[in-house]
């Protein structure tokens, strides 16, 4: 009986740990999307930022090993990570310049950068490796896992803390959790958060209050680039240990959906990102069965659409109930 | 006699926008420290541009600004704030989801270690400021939940918090009731006595008279007059402001016969999506050739009433009939086809499409019918001739039918909207705030048009925050408070002060629900 419980608990924690892992890139990107959205600039280029960051991270870590053969091994993934963050943030910076300096429409410019990122990463990959599909021919590095000691064989908790197979969680999984806490805290409790939200909600008021609205929007977009890059780096140097063409696979767009689904609140956004992560895990599980791959790939976007519709429907029903209650009072009075 | 030092001085200031528009030219005037000075003039006269330059939102293309005797070159509002200048804009510039305290300290926040916002200190500062200046507010309230009058207090507190010695106010009373206006004026006088300098834009003669020590008149970007109030009577001031004497206000309907009402509303109620009751048991009659005025502080149901009568919203209870036919609950187009015309409250948002041409805006209600529509195509030639005739006939200052609507001043835009709505000689006109933010001359022209329409036998519902307008035009006045009609008056049986009391819920309540109690 108790053994069954442990087994069930273990399965559940495997799913939880897997969900967290699958959700990590979406959490990073959605936190980035949230910050820029609150600053008044929707960042449609999250997808492209993730791709560029993943690519730069993988390539840099691989070339770091070629260029500095004598350097300690731990250096290469961290160099890659830094390069990935830098490259992704730079792409977001490009979007900021297009929009804030040159007056380009955010949506159009963002989509343009996504298409650019898709093509550019494949072009450079083909040029460097001769392969248009992935960087499998290069030896690239993963960022380290963090493993809690003394958890060997501890049921449930061991799996939760150190993952299925006791290898620990990638450092960026913890990074995503830390980023969640930081974003939630900074938006609510810091002067910067207050100013960012003011600039996003009523730019004219912020301007009249003497706030540097443009600079705040730069900060919002650059921060969103930095956070989304964290997700991209995780994809290439944690989730997998190589770069694949189009490896962001729509996660940047899912992240945007998470921002709206989460009601523009940090914790809501991360909860929505976890739902999307869960859908990915479910898709992977179904992939083990004889379900056609096309159906499996449809699951995360279907969950997204279903979640958006359900939340809206729920709000509408609640509104209708409130209206009905109000009408009852109106007629009875 | 000592001469007070000058707080504000403009010397030959010119502002030419990149598109060539000359907003100000050779503007010179000065305001002494501790003075309340009124800046008046028609819409598009360049008053707001002067304010913007004094607040660093625009930079003059020629001339000099001096603040407290020192020449200044403001590049952005931060510079102006540093020089002790604060602006209370016409469209209140607050962040709705933040609290009063957060809005007040925004840009000058008290901090704790680590860049954290010190909320307790912010609330304490706001409380102290509120006490000093007599502007009562709750620092912890969310701005979105506050009525307009209180939001304006927050706006003034915000300016004071930054240590402003000079306050610029752009039409501060446009959204206020008479009691709120009186409170505001008392506050402004108190601030002036404490040594602060106040420059206020207004359209209203009586406000200039009640408040200002000096007045400067702008017309087409230039100063056309400047005077001490002590030297002027209202006639001379009006002449100075308009450049000519105004026609007398349109006479009220004199025939007191009681024909069959044309419009009959009974038990109108509306519940919004949040379940809040916005309108409750509103009933009224309007006879042909009669104007029924609706008074009320903004947000007490006037907007909802107008939406129900125009077909933009469906009543939750009750209905309204035009010549016996129910017209509420129909689509706006069906309502219009029955002979109901609507001048909406927000002309930039609901009344017109600012980026489209005058022509397209005028077409909006009649493009689908002959003579402008022929076999499904718009006859641009006929339409253009008609539009030009409307522009000429209503005295609209515009370059031609192709000019974008948004390029017009508020008064000219409103003339075109009214022209469009009354072109088909409607049986019933719902006019919401028809002269808000419109200069005196245009307001007077618009009011004459309303009176003319009434004389042709139309029933008119006039919803207005301008009590002078209501008192001048209406045959009867009803007061809306919290979605109910709380008082009804015959014209001439009530004054602005009494209306103001009822508008704020302080009047004796209306006994019974007899819709024809006063008629």
Looking up residue B330, the CATH number of its domain turns out to be 3.40.50.300
Structure tokens at B68: 């407290």
Least confident of A145-159, B145-159, B504-518: B504-518
In a domain, B177, yes or no: yes
Question: What was the pLDDT predicted at B249?
Answer: 60
Reported confidence tier of residue A65, pLDDT bands at 50, 70, 90: very high
Mark which residues 183-212 of A lie under 8 Å from B by CB: 189-195, 197-198, 201-202, 204-212
Contact B117 A327 (CB under 8 A): no
pTM of the model: 0.74
Per the CB < 8 A criterion, the answer to whether B286 and B262 are in contact is: yes
Q: How many CB atoms lie within 10 A of CB A73?
A: 8
What residue ranges in B132-262 does DSSP mark as E strands? 166-170, 197-201, 214-219, 222-228
Min distance A83 CA to chain B CA atoms (Å): 28
In a domain, B250, yes or no: no
Min distance A237 CA to chain B CA atoms (Å): 32
Radius of gyration of chain A (CA): 22
Contact A207 B109 (CB under 8 A): no
The whole-number average pLDDT for the span A199-226 is 92
In a domain, B98, yes or no: yes
Please tell me the distance from the alpha carbon of residue A10 to that of residue A158, in angstroms, as a whole number: 9
The whole-number average pLDDT for the span B276-287 is 91
Q: Which residue of A has its CA nearest to B316?
A: A327
Q: Tell which wins on pLDDT, B190 or B510.
A: B190
Domains of chain A as residue ranges with CATH? 2-249 (1.10.3470)
In a domain, B262, yes or no: no
Dmax (CA) of chain B: 78
Q: Which of B254, B247, B266, B344 is nearest to B291 (CA)?
A: B254
In a domain, B481, yes or no: yes
Least confident of A140-144, A177-181, B441-445: B441-445
Mark which residues 199-228 of B lie under 8 Å from A by CB: none
Q: Domain check: are B290 and B167 in the same one? A: no
Residue A286 in contact with partner chain B when CB distance is under 8 A: no
Residue tagged 């192709």 (tokens): B402
Highest mean pLDDT among A34-38, A262-266, B389-393: A34-38
Contact B106 A211 (CB under 8 A): yes
Question: What was the pLDDT predicted at B236?
Answer: 73
Q: Which residue of A has its CA nearest to B57?
A: A208
Q: Which of B462, B505, B515, B410 is nearest to B179 (CA)?
A: B505
In a domain, B513, yes or no: no
Question: What was the pLDDT predicted at B513?
Answer: 43
Q: Domain check: are B159 and B297 in the same one? A: no
Q: Domain check: are B313 and B456 in the same one? A: yes
Residue B248 has pLDDT above 80, yes or no: no
Helices (H), B465-517: 467-473, 496-503
Per the CB < 8 A criterion, the answer to whether A100 and A107 are in contact is: no
Contact B76 A333 (CB under 8 A): no
Q: How large is the angle between the packed helices A46-67 and A213-234, nearest 10 degrees?
A: 60
SS3 B350: helix
Question: What was the pLDDT predicted at B244?
Answer: 56
CA dihedral sign, ordered A100, A102, A103, A108: negative
Give the residues across from B66 on adjacent strands. B9, B71
Q: Domain check: are B37 and B166 in the same one? A: yes
Residue tagged 């979105």 (tokens): B144
Least confident of A30-39, A198-207, B401-410: B401-410
Per the CB < 8 A criterion, the answer to whether A20 and A26 are in contact is: no
Contact B275 A322 (CB under 8 A): yes
Q: Domain check: are B311 and B198 in the same one? A: no
Please tell me the distance from the alpha carbon of residue A169 to that of residue A17, in angstroms, as a whole number: 9
End residue of a domain, out of B242, B262, B281: B242
SS3 A85: helix
Distance, CA of B338 to chain centre: 30
The torsion region of residue B88 among left (phi > 0), alpha (psi -120 to 50) and beta comes to beta
Mark which residues 97-116 of B lie under 8 Å from A by CB: 97-98, 102-103, 106-109, 111, 114-116
> How many interchain CB pairs under 8 A, A with B?
106
Please tell me the distance from the alpha carbon of residue B30 to that of residue B65, in angstroms, as a whole number: 10
Residue A269 has pLDDT above 90, yes or no: yes
Per the CB < 8 A criterion, the answer to whether A273 and A27 are in contact is: yes
Q: Domain check: are B385 and B449 in the same one? A: yes
Question: What was the pLDDT predicted at B119?
Answer: 92
Q: Which of B374, B435, B363, B365 is nearest to B401 (CA)?
A: B363
The whole-number average pLDDT for the span B116-128 is 93
Contact B275 A195 (CB under 8 A): no
End residue of a domain, out of B224, B242, B260: B242
Residue A331 in contact with partner chain B when CB distance is under 8 A: yes
Per the CB < 8 A criterion, the answer to whether A125 and A131 are in contact is: yes
Which residues constitute the domain of residue B291?
270-503
Residue B243 has pLDDT above 70, yes or no: no
Mean pLDDT of chain B: 85
* ipTM confidence: 0.81
Residue tagged 């709750």 (tokens): B138
Question: What was the pLDDT predicted at B252?
Answer: 61
Burial A182-205 (b: 16+ CB within 10 A, else e): ebbebbebbbbbbbbbbbbbbbeb
Residue A332 in contact with partner chain B when CB distance is under 8 A: no
Reported confidence tier of residue B163, pLDDT bands at 50, 70, 90: confident
Q: Domain check: are B130 and B79 in the same one? A: yes
Contact A330 B277 (CB under 8 A): yes
Q: Domain check: are B87 and B128 in the same one? A: yes
Q: Domain check: are B212 and B335 in the same one? A: no
The torsion region of residue A124 among left (phi > 0), alpha (psi -120 to 50) and beta comes to alpha
Residue B121 in contact with partner chain A when CB distance is under 8 A: no
Contact B273 A319 (CB under 8 A): yes
Contact B274 A194 (CB under 8 A): no
Q: State how many domains chain B has.
A: 2
Question: Per-residue pLDDT tens for A154-167?
Answer: 777 777 788 777 78
Reported confidence tier of residue B184, pLDDT bands at 50, 70, 90: confident
Please tell me the distance from the alpha carbon of residue A223 to that of residue A229, in angstroms, as a whole number: 10
Q: Domain check: are B235 and B357 in the same one? A: no
Please tell me the distance from the alpha carbon of residue B57 to that of residue B331, in angstroms, as a whole number: 43
Q: Which residue of A has its CA nearest to B280?
A: A330
Question: What was the pLDDT predicted at A333?
Answer: 60
Q: Domain check: are B238 and B274 in the same one? A: no
Q: Which residue of A has its CA nearest to B106?
A: A209
Mean pLDDT of chain A: 90
Q: Which residue of B has its CA nearest to A209?
A: B107
CA distances from B301 to B49, B176, B278, B463 (A): 34, 16, 6, 11
> Which chain B positions have a beta carbon within 8 Å of A39's beta carbon?
none
Structure tokens at A297: 């790939």
Per the CB < 8 A criterion, the answer to whether B281 and B268 are in contact is: yes
In a domain, B261, yes or no: no
- State the best of B109, B271, B308 to mutate against chain A, taking most chain A CBs within 10 Å: B271
Question: What was the pLDDT predicted at B504?
Answer: 75
Per the CB < 8 A criterion, the answer to whether B404 and B355 are in contact is: yes
Reported confidence tier of residue B437, pLDDT bands at 50, 70, 90: confident
Question: Per-residue pLDDT tens for B78-106?
Answer: 889 889 999 887 777 899 999 999 999 99
> Which chain B positions have a beta carbon within 8 Å of A202's beta carbon?
93-96
In a domain, B134, yes or no: yes
Contact A319 B274 (CB under 8 A): yes
Q: Domain check: are B286 and B163 in the same one? A: no
Per the CB < 8 A criterion, the answer to whether A235 and A54 are in contact is: yes
SS3 B155: helix
């Amino acid at each position: 009986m108790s053994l069954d419980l442990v087994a069930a608990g273990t399965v559940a924690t495997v799913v939880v740990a897997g969900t967290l892992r699958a959700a990590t890139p979406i959490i990073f990107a959605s936190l980035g999307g949230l910050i820029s959205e609150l600053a008044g600039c929707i960042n449609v280029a999250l997808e492209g930022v993730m791709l560029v960051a993943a690519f730069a991270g993988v390539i840099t870590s691989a070339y770091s090993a070629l260029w500095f053969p004598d350097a300690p091994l731990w250096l290469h993934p961290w160099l890659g990570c830094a390069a990935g963050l830098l490259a992704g943030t730079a792409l977001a910076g490009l979007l900021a310049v297009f929009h804030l300096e040159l007056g380009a429409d955010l949506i159009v410019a963002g989509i343009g950068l996504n298409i650019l990122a898709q093509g550019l990463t494949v072009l450079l990959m083909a040029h460097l490796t001769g392969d248009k599909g992935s960087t499998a021919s290069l030896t690239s590095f993963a960022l380290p896992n963090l493993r809690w000691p003394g958890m060997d064989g501890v049921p449930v908790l061991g799996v939760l803390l150190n993952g299925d197979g006791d290898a620990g969680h990638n450092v960026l999984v913890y990074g995503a959790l830390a980023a969640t806490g930081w974003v939630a805290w900074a938006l609510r409790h810091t002067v910067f958060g207050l100013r960012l939200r003011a600039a996003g909600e009523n730019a004219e008021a912020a301007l009249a209050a003497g706030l540097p609205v443009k600079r705040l929007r730069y900060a919002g977009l650059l921060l969103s680039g930095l956070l989304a890059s964290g997700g991209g780096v995780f994809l290439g140097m944690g989730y997998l240990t190589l770069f694949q063409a189009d490896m962001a696979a729509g996660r940047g767009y899912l992240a945007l959906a998470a921002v709206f689904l989460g009601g523009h609140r940090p914790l809501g956004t991360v909860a929505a990102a976890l739902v999307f992560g869960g859908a990915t895990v479910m898709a992977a599980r179904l992939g083990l069965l004889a379900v056609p791959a096309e159906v499996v790939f449809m699951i995360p976007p279907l969950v997204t659409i279903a979640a958006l519709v359900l939340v809206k429907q729920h709000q509408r029903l609640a509104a209708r109930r409130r209206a009905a209650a109000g009408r009852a009072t109106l007629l009875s009075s | 006699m000592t001469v007070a030092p000058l707080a504000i001085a403009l010397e030959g200031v010119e502002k030419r926008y990149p598109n060539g528009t000359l907003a100000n030219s050779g503007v010179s005037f000065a305001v002494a420290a501790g003075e309340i000075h009124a800046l008046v003039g028609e819409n598009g006269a360049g008053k707001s541009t002067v304010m913007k330059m004094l607040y660093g939102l625009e930079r003059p293309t020629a001339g000099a600004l001096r603040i407290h005797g020192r020449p200044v070159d403001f590049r952005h509002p931060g510079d102006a704030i540093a020089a002790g200048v604060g602006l209370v804009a016409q469209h209140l510039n607050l962040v709705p989801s933040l609290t009063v305290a957060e809005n007040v300290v925004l840009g000058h926040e008290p901090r704790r270690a680590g860049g954290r916002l010190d909320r307790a200190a912010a609330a304490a500062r706001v409380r102290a400021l509120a006490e000093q200046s007599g502007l009562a507010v709750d620092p912890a309230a969310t701005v979105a939940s506050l009525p307009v009058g209180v939001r304006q207090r927050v706006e003034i507190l915000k300016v004071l918090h930054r240590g402003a010695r000079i306050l610029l106010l752009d039409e501060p009373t446009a959204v206020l009731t008479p009691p709120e206006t009186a409170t505001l004026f008392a506050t402004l006088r108190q601030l002036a006595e404490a040594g602060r300098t106040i420059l206020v834009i207004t359209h209203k003669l009586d406000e200039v008279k009640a408040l200002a020590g000096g007045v400067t008149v702008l017309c087409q970007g230039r100063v056309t007059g400047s005077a001490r109030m002590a030297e002027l009577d209202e006639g001379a001031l009006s002449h100075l402001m308009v450049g000519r004497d105004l026609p007398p206000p349109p006479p009220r309907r004199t025939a007191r016969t009681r024909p069959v009402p044309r419009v009959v509303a009974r038990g109108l109620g509306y519940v919004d999506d949040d379940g809040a009751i916005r309108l409750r048991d509103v009933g009224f009659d309007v006879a042909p050739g009669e104007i029924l005025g609706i008074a009320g502080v903004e947000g007490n149901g006037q907007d909802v009433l107008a939406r129900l009568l125009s077909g933009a919203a469906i009543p939750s209870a009750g209905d309204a009939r035009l010549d016996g036919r129910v017209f509420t609950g129909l689509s706006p187009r069906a309502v219009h086809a029955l002979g109901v015309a609507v001048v909406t409250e927000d002309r930039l948002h609901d009344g017109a499409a600012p980026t489209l041409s005058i022509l397209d805006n005028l077409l909006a209600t009649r493009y689908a019918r002959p003579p402008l529509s022929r076999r499904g195509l718009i006859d641009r030639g006929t339409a253009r001739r008609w539009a030009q005739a409307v522009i000429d006939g209503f005295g609209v200052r515009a370059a031609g039918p192709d000019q974008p609507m948004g390029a017009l001043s508020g008064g000219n835009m409103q003339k075109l909207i009214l022209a469009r709505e009354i072109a088909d000689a409607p049986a019933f006109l719902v006019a919401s705030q028809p002269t808000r933010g419109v200069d005196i001359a245009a307001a007077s022209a618009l009011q004459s048009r309303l009176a003319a329409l009434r004389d042709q036998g139309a029933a008119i519902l006039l919803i207005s925050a301008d009590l002078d307008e209501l008192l001048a035009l209406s045959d009867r006045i009803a007061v809306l408070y919290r979605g109910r009609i709380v008082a009804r008056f015959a014209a001439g049986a009530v004054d602005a002060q009494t209306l103001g009391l009822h508008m704020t819920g302080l009047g004796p309540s209306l006994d019974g629900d007899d819709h024809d109690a006063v008629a």
